[in-house]
Amino acid sequence: MKQRTISKSVEIVGVGLHKGVPVKMKLEPLDDDMGIIFYRSDEAVTIPLTPEYVIDTKMATVIGKDDVVVSTIEHLLSAIYAYGIDNLRISVDNDEVPILDGSSSGYCMLLEEVGIVEQSKSKRALLIKKEIEVKHEGKFVKVKPSNHIIYDFSINFEHPAIGEQEFRFDYSIPEYKENISRARTFGFLHEVQYLRSIGLAQGGSLENAIVLDDQKVLNPEGLRYDDEFVRHKILDAIGDMSLLGYTMVGEYSAHAGSHHLNHLLTKKVLESPENYEIVDLEEVQEKVEVFEKAYARA
């Protein structure tokens, strides 16, 4: 199995969630072993995609270097890693990635339209070797060894439209497209009002997020899935775990996880070589079979 990139460059323009300003984003193919990198074209600054460059995780995953940042990267990264892309440059001319409709489905369509190509060198993956957990006040995120790529998430909100939800996702591209990619980000009306008062969520609307008051969903079209909230948490987790630098082979599970806990988990995984192994998928046959299944019908 070979590394992947896109067939050619592609540009889109969208609105950033927090600043509410137009952002021009360009995706460009990169050669083998280049990885995923971000580039602020207006500042001429390249920001590597590693945990060391994560500077904020309160409302989104934000990376930065030399006082230049790129915010809300998790939805785009979720789609990129779901499609098995290894090498790509993401160029933006502002400090946010376009929010689109609040899910990653638009990015999935963009990647399919431009086309994905195999490269010359073999694909590598990060194999989890031992259970690693991060806990805080009853919340947790953890990974453990598995021959599959699994994301298992549960949430419990004291809200009539949410309540307790759990979803287990056994990874493949078709399953991601159907069951994860369309799940939108969500927020509560009182939070949106507060965020706007401090200059955030300026681009947020019912067109790009699920918004709830104290009792119900305010979006007139309703939900895309009954459990759309927990599915979006998985979408976010896939994007956040991409900071490991490779597609993870293992089982991720979480209860009430967050961008912050996911960031701490990636750091904890990478802090010791006892926790993981980088495997060449052309040398480890059983892992090749996992990925052949995962990328089937892509």
* CATH number of the domain within which 49 lies: 3.30.230.20
The answer to whether residues 41 and 128 belong to one domain is: no
With CA atoms as reference, report the closest residue to 153 among 170, 166, 139: 166
Clarify whether residues 266 and 133 are in a common domain. Answer: yes
The 10 Å Cβ neighbour count of residue 87 is 20
Query: What percent of the chain stands above pLDDT 90?
Result: 83
> Are residue 115 and residue 182 in the same domain, yes or no?
no
Residues 91 and 135 in one domain: no
Q: CA 280, 49, 40, 184 torsion: positive or negative?
A: positive
pLDDT tens per residue across span 180-213: 999 999 999 888 777 777 766 677 888 999 999 9
Q: What is the CATH number of the domain that holds 186?
A: 3.30.1700.10
Instruction: Quote the pLDDT of residue 289.
Output: 66
Is 156's pLDDT higher than 90?
A: yes
In the chain, the number of structural domains is 2
Of 59, 94, 121, at which residue does a domain stop? Answer: 121
Beta carbons of 68 and 40 less than 8 angstroms apart: yes
Domain end (from 121, 151, 171) = 121
Residue 93 shares a structural domain with residue 223: no
| 10 plus 157 within the same structural domain | no
| Cβ proximity of 104 and 83 under 8 Å | no
Residue at a domain's end among 58, 93, 121: 121
If asked whether residues 13 and 149 sit together in one domain, one would say no
Same domain for 105 and 148, yes or no, is no
Q: In angstroms, rounded to a whole number, what is the distance separating the alpha carbons of residues 139 and 153?
A: 11
Mean pLDDT of 163-173: 96
As a whole number, mean pLDDT of residues 4-13 equals 98
Report pTM. Answer: 0.94
Predicted pLDDT at 20: 79
* Active site residues per annotation: 259
- For residue 205, the model assigns a pLDDT of 86
Predicted confidence band of residue 291 (pLDDT cuts 50, 70, 90): low
Give the pLDDT score at 196. 74
Whether residues 177 and 254 fall in one domain: yes
| Owning domain of residue 141 | 124-294
Q: Which residues contact 198 (CB under 8 A, 6 or more apart)?
A: none
Please check whether residues 178 and 200 belong to one and the same domain. yes
Q: Same domain, yes or no, for 181 and 246? A: yes
